Amino acid sequence: MKFYLGTHRPSWLARTDVPLFVSRRVMPKAKFPQAIGSWALDSGGFTELSMFGEWRTTEDEYVADALRYEDEIGLLNWVAPQDWMCEPFMLEKTGLTVREHQQRTVESFLRLADRLGDLVIPVLQGWTRDDYLRCWADYEYANVDLSGERTVGLGSICRRQNTAEVGRIMRSLQPLNLHAFGVKLTGLESYGDALHSADSMAWSYRARRDHPMRGHTHKSCANCLPYALRWRDQVLARLGQQRLEVECVA
């Protein structure tokens, strides 16, 4: 599993070679950093839909930015489409149904794929297991073979408390190369074996409630690269130890 470190600091692209996950909403307008490691672009859809109940960033704007990032920053693995999340509170915000959000997500991918090629990945949206399976069928109906895609995003899971339910959903979508957006550590421990990749920014939440690292003079390490890298190392070590324990039991 490839683990992307989520960050709201685009300058980190030039400071570390660990895979990073960066939202378009925090990207500078000019003077882009030069990436020294691979990274992926989050569309920022959750924030945009939460704020406005609709996409106000146009497709032309999104395509122009994605191509510019690929050219001027470099090492861009993939970009998410302008997808539509399906959490109940998001449906209340947009006034639409799960099916409408799914259809708009698939349509966004199809249009962006015409302009960005394989730089953009498909994303499955839904709420229940059957929702996600229907969304998979929507892609098939549009002649998109998700089983042949290098990465398939899985949306609307990061704020769920029921880890077991998310695990069941993921296992029902095998053998897709799933990317989980905004996963928790407990989730990675539970269903990480079903994932191709994942991202998390949980380190920042933890840092706001933790003491600064020794020798750091800021009030918290919520914007601190050394803290984030240490957290990432701890997560990967913990997951590695868990896998080792499973292998030993087997």
Q: Is residue 243 part of a domain?
A: no
Q: Which residues of 34-69 are buried (b: 16+ CB within 10 A; e: fewer)?
A: ebeebbbbbbbbbebbeeeeebebeeeebbebbeeb
Instruction: State which H helix or E strand residue 5 sits in.
Output: strand 2-7
What is the reported pLDDT for 210?
73
pLDDT value, residue 33 = 96
pLDDT in tens, 48-72: 999 999 999 999 999 999 999 999 9
In this structure, of 3-12, 171-180, 210-219, the range with the lowest mean pLDDT score is: 210-219
What mean pLDDT comes out for the span 186-193? Answer: 82
Q: How many CA within 13 A on the CB side of residue 148?
A: 6
Banded model confidence at residue 197, pLDDT cuts 50, 70, 90: very high
- Domain membership of residue 241 (yes or no) is no
CATH number at 82 reads 3.20.20.105
> Band of the pLDDT at 241, cuts 50, 70, 90?
low
The pLDDT of residue 103 is: 98
The number of distinct structural domains making up the chain is 1
> Cα–Cα distance between 158 and 167 in angstroms, integer?
12
Residue 154 lies in a domain: yes
* SS3 readout for 160-181: CCCHHHHHHHHHHCCCCCEEEC
Per-residue pLDDT for 227 more than 80?
yes
Give the tens place of pLDDT for each residue, 111-122: 999 999 999 999
The pTM of the full predicted model, rounded to 2 decimals, is 0.91
pLDDT at 50: 95
Percent of the chain past pLDDT 90, that is, above it, reads: 71
**Boundaries of domain holding 86:** 2-200
Task: Identify whether 33 is part of a domain.
Answer: yes
Contact criterion met (CB below 8 Å) for 194 and 171: yes
pLDDT at 14: 97
The mean pLDDT of 164-177, rounded to a whole number, is 92
At residue 245, the pLDDT reads 36
